[in-house]
Amino acid sequence: MDVKRLRLLREFADRGSIGAVADAMHMTPSAVSQQLKVLTREAGVDLLAQDGRRIRLTDAGRALVLRADEVIAAVERAQEEMEGYRSGAATVRLAMFPSGAALLLPGVLDRVAGSGVEVIAAELDVGYPDAAPALADFDIVVTHRDERTAPVRAPRVEVTELMREPVDVVVAAGSEFADRDDIEVDDLADCDWISVEGGFPVDDVLLSISAVTGVAPRVTQRMLDFGTIQSIVAADHGIALIPRFAVRHPGVKRLTLKGVRAARVYEALTRPGMRRAVTDVVDHLVASAEAAGQR
């Protein structure tokens, strides 16, 4: 079977449609369809099936995608080794959520300096369920989840846990709560909240507070940037939940939350059989997370 056609099948598994594969691979949809038909003939069994107006993988197609992962990973490792002989360099595409990048990326870049590995990093701020599909475009996706959420389990995704970061309550420096170091969850039932969008770990903690108090949280603003949230809190327009290492604004006070589990877990998602350079960067992420946790 041709490796290029196996790559197209894997792209279809990742992206879900012929059109999306065509866009990603800079081909026409008809060319993608033709190549997948050739791969079907090579396999000797149907790999795709019509499902209403859409096309889906058959059981045989899903099985072949797993083998395609192994073949493509082996080819990429060989290519990386040959590139190393030619230039001594390897490239790793890394996607990270913004606050995680602020905490871990500087340490990773320090560790890869002079190693022959080039890290090309990009921000990816999506909910946990949408992180693994981004492996279609990146070698490593660093994501986060509420600690009570089960880690992703899929045959084409490997999960490396990096660290646990507590989520704290942040109040204005002049708030009535600012003279405390911790706060009970029941004390927060009547507060105005500044929160993130739904589906992110911090908002999951807010839902847990609601379950404990029996009071729906009164969310007055929703923002994704923790710096913006802290500025709003510093101006005394509400309180917020912020991951501990992201609290930096001088006008806020951080309080330990008591009465509910509140933390997010950082994970590095990769494909099985990753290249040596990818393995090295995952190791650097683990080391950076260990260093961050000791601050």
How confident is the model over 88-134, as pLDDT tens digits?
678 899 999 999 999 999 999 999 998 889 999 999 989 899 999 99
Q: How confident is the model at residue 85 (pLDDT cuts 50, 70, 90)?
A: low
User: What's the rounded Cα separation, in Å, for the pair 252 and 169?
Assistant: 10
d(CA 214, CA 51): 44
**Average pLDDT along the chain:** 91
β strands within the chain, DSSP E? 48-51, 54-57, 90-96, 117-123, 140-146, 158-172, 182-184, 192-195, 218-222, 239-243, 252-258, 263-270
Largest CA distance in the chain: 72
Mean pLDDT across 43-57: 91
Residue 41, CA distances (Å) to 4, 202, 271 in order = 15, 49, 27
* pLDDT beyond 90 at 224: no
How does pLDDT run across 136-167, given as a tens digit for each residue?
989 999 999 988 889 999 989 999 999 999 99
The per-residue pLDDT for 273 is 85
Residue 245 has pLDDT above 80, yes or no: yes
Q: Which backbone phi and psi does 211 adopt, to 5 degrees?
A: -65, -35
Cα separation of the two ends of the chain:
51
Q: What's the pLDDT tens digit per position in 183-202?
A: 998 898 889 999 988 777 78
Share of the chain above pLDDT 90, in %: 68
Buried b (16+ CB within 10 A) or exposed e, 171-181: bbeebebeeee
